[in-house]
Chain A
């Protein structure tokens, strides 16, 4: 099972073992005792709210001073688990909290912690979007909360399309933009701290990024319409989809998103709020991308 194009090896949890292919990049995940925190870190951030929990960061120096490719830092989810990233060994260590479970460990690593690792490495731009494959290219879907993103992803899945994620995707820029799948789960329901159902039809390798569609809910009987966004509206749509925005990365993030806005097309699609009309929405997107 590839997560952000990496194989996660949970050394101490047999139930989370998955098969690994030759050549897969791997991330080892192993349990530690809590004395590692005091012996490793000198700085601790205040608590902040994230996904309904209080979280805080640990480091040996301010994040803005850390070498992006050579650092160790920690992330504590109150009473659940503390995760420690080591760049030198490309591994994660974790300390169990009072309410720890293997499921929560997996959720917090895949959903939040590893995207933070990638963000801090500055190699990828992480977007909070759903993504599907069409003609071997990635289409991104962005929406505000309850905006129909997961419902549309679910529909594409039922129509036989491979998906990259229903929540987060990593974007890499090297001779064009590519989209990298996050984790092979999708969640067509609202339950916090769950990854959702496992999916088989999952894009395993990075594929070219083609376009982003911003979903705009409209009344049931409205027409399905697609219009292209330009300039600031295009930028804002991409920027608002940024996974997490560290203050010290604001400038880099602005530049990355602006560069991306110059390279890809962004559209707004009006979606009538009626599940019976999803086929129409699906057909509109497929037709819009007809080769």
Chain B
């Protein structure tokens, strides 16, 4: 995917913050997912922007990490969300 691609969150997915975690509940599969730390930051960003354009920069403003490693982590995170059907990419 490209960083400018639109990211959609299914209407059947609900989220709540409990303690330090974002809890996602997929009512289709009835599975729960919890995101904490960097995963929570990434999820909050893509929920707000519907894209991961600027996500790396957003994280770099908060923590000091290797850029290439960060981009790889973002890629893996997005792929994991896609695999678990927590997001879809592109036009609806």
Which residues of A are in contact with B by a Cβ distance under 8 Å?
230-232, 234-236, 239, 250-251, 254-255, 258-259, 261-262
Closest A residue, CB atoms, query B36: A231
Contact A231 B18 (CB under 8 A): yes
Contact A232 B34 (CB under 8 A): yes
Inter-chain CA distance A168–B27, complex, in Å, is: 25
Question: Secondary structure of the A side of the interface?
Answer: helix
6 cross-chain CB contacts under 8 A: A230-B18, A232-B18, A232-B23, A251-B27, A254-B25, A255-B16
Inter-chain CA distance A288–B23, complex, in Å, is: 28
What is the 8 Å Cβ interface bit string for chain B, positions 71-84, against chain A (1 contact, 0 not)? Answer: 00000000000000
What is the 8 Å Cβ interface bit string for chain B, positions 25-59, against chain A (1 contact, 0 not)? Answer: 10100001110100000000000000000000000
**Residue from B18, B20, B36 in contact with A235 in the complex, judged by beta carbons closer than 8 Å:** B18
**Residue from B14, B19, B34 in contact with A254 in the complex, judged by beta carbons closer than 8 Å:** B14
Contact B14 A235 (CB under 8 A): no
**Residue from B20, B23, B27, B36 in contact with A258 in the complex, judged by beta carbons closer than 8 Å:** B23
Contact B16 A230 (CB under 8 A): no
Q: Which residues of A contact B21 (CB under 8 A)?
A: 230-232
Q: Which residues of B contact A250 (CB under 8 A)?
A: 25, 27
Total B residues in contact with A, Cβ cutoff 8 Å: 13
Inter-chain CA distance A259–B25, complex, in Å, is: 14
Q: Which residues of B contact A262 (CB under 8 A)?
A: 18
> Which of the listed residues B21, B23, B33, B34 has the most CB atoms from chain A within 10 Å of its own CB?
B23
Inter-chain CA distance A252–B14, complex, in Å, is: 10
Given A232-B21, A232-B23, the answer on whether A255 and B32 have CB atoms closer than 8 Å is no
Contact A254 B20 (CB under 8 A): no
Inter-chain CA distance A261–B14, complex, in Å, is: 15
Q: Which residues of B contact A232 (CB under 8 A)?
A: 18, 21, 23, 32-34
**Residue from B14, B23, B25, B27 in contact with A231 in the complex, judged by beta carbons closer than 8 Å:** B23
Q: A231-B19, A231-B20 are in contact. List 13 more A-B contacts (CB 8 A).
A: A230-B19, A231-B34, A235-B16, A235-B18, A235-B23, A236-B32, A251-B14, A251-B27, A254-B25, A254-B27, A258-B16, A258-B18, A262-B18
Inter-chain CA distance A222–B16, complex, in Å, is: 36
> Which of the listed residues B18, B20, B23, B32 has the most CB atoms from chain A within 10 Å of its own CB?
B18
CB distance from A231 to the nearest CB of B (A): 4
